[in-house]
Chains A and B, each alone.
Chain A
Amino acid sequence: MTDKPRIIIGLLFVLVAVTFPFWYALAGQTSTETPELVLPESGQCIVGAAEMRAKHMDILEVWRNEVVRHGDQELVEVGDQKYEKSLTKTCMNCHESREAFCQKCHEYADVHPTCWNCHNEEKGD
């Protein structure tokens, strides 16, 4: 019966580990309310909101490779408007602040894109 204390400790440890997501979230007081985004006053995005929500990471990655690695300068045509393939010059031009817009959903989804380690977070000069 000398294994009993070891078994009990082990079981407690497993219990704590398995319920980790629940008590950690409670302690972090994270909200499950839908994020409230600060949308730009006017204008239209290059694709619809639902498509953008699903695909914006891929769009940005494709743009990144095209512009940086292939020197592709073609503008994106949306109706009669032409846009540069740029996070800062196109996306951030309308969605002016990372904190007011991008971060709301990113925090909710707990994702940490590293784009803003280098690219500007606010619409600059």
Chain B
Amino acid sequence: MSQDRRSFLKNAGCAAMGIGCGFPLLGVGCNRAEHGEGDSQTSQLAMIVDIEKCQDPKVQEACTKACHQAHNVPEIKDKHHRIDWIKSEKRGHVFPDQTHAHADKTVKDMPVLVLCNHCDNPPCVKVCPTAATWKRDSDGVVMMDMHRCIGCRYCMAACPYGARSFNWSDPEFKETRKLADYPRREKGVVEKCTFCEELIRRGETPACVEAAASVSGGEGALVFGDLSDKQSEVSKILADSSINTICRRVSLGTGPNVFYIV
């Protein structure tokens, strides 16, 4: 088969373009290998919040303060730009599907601690265009990679729980203590609770759980553990039919792993 130079160049160009278009597919393959897609998840960490015990303002303050200090979360006065990894919200807003119109006002306004639910089927992970957030196979924590986040805020649009915060400006650190071993964030990235992954990887418990237990009357306000371990306290509480637990917005199908004792 004889081929003149022009058609050879044309074919070579098409082949080069085809290979070039194949690179994203290669990248996808590498991504999958990186995250071990198809591997089964070995465990799922979960948290149980006792609404009654967490009503104590001392418990709430201890939890939020411990978390924000442990992670260098800046204290921003402006409520439209404040960053919260854990916060108190009114029960009527936290459980809109389980609060009826005739509920007493004290019930509707009851403060409830809310944080990232580290869902089984996280919509934020589904939408992230760079895999800057992903669900870890080893323990089910929904992680954040601050180095990769491009700050598109698609995850914030997708989260049905308002768990994520964006850094609208460079966080000021004059008031917060600078911890040697935990970084802060720069402007333009999204952050959220990571179940204190830097502590749990050392075998310690999350800061909020520790803080709640240190407040008198706060023992058991927050319980943390592995759902796949049937002997863990979280599994035992969930298996106990005399304890009524609910989740936020179950009907959305996200599969949250933060449970509330009502």
Contacts and interface: CB of A to CB of B under 8 A. Distances in A.
**Do chains A and B stick together as partners?**
yes
A111 B180 CA distance: 24
B34 A123 contact: no
A57 to B, nearest CB: 13
A88 B181 contact: yes
A112 interface: no
B201 A120 contact: no
B147 interface: yes
Interface residues of B, number: 19
A124 B34 CA distance: 33
A69 B192 CA distance: 16
Contacts of A89: 180-181
A71 B201 contact: yes
A73 B201 contact: yes
A104 interface: no
Secondary structure dominating the interface of A: loop
Interface string A75-117: 0000000000010110010000000000000000000001001
Given A71-B138, A73-B201, A64 B179 contact: no
A125 interface: yes
B181 A68 contact: no
Contacts of A69: 34, 134, 143, 145
B177 interface: yes
Interface stretch (B5-13, B15-23, B183-191): B183-191
A107 B201 CA distance: 36
A117 B170 CA distance: 9
Nearest to A114: B186
B147 A64 contact: yes
Given A69-B145, A117-B186, A125 B201 contact: no
Contact of A119 (B134, B183, B197, B201): B183
Given A64-B147, A71-B138, A73-B201, A88 B183 contact: yes
A18 interface: no
Interface string B110-149: 0000000000000000000000001010100001011100
Given A64-B147, A73-B201, A88 B138 contact: no
A35 B147 CA distance: 29
A15 interface: no
Given A88-B183, A118-B185, A68 B145 contact: yes
Contacts of B181: 86, 88-89, 124
B180 A118 contact: no
B81 interface: no
A68 B147 contact: yes
Given A86-B181, A117-B186, 18 more contacts: A64-B147, A68-B143, A68-B147, A69-B134, A70-B34, A73-B201, A88-B180, A89-B181, A118-B183, A118-B185, A118-B186, A119-B183, A120-B183, A120-B184, A123-B180, A124-B180, A124-B181, A125-B177
Interface of A: 64, 68-71, 73, 86, 88-89, 92, 114, 117-120, 123-125
The 5 closest A-B pairs by CB, nearest first: A124-B180, A117-B186, A118-B183, A119-B183, A124-B178
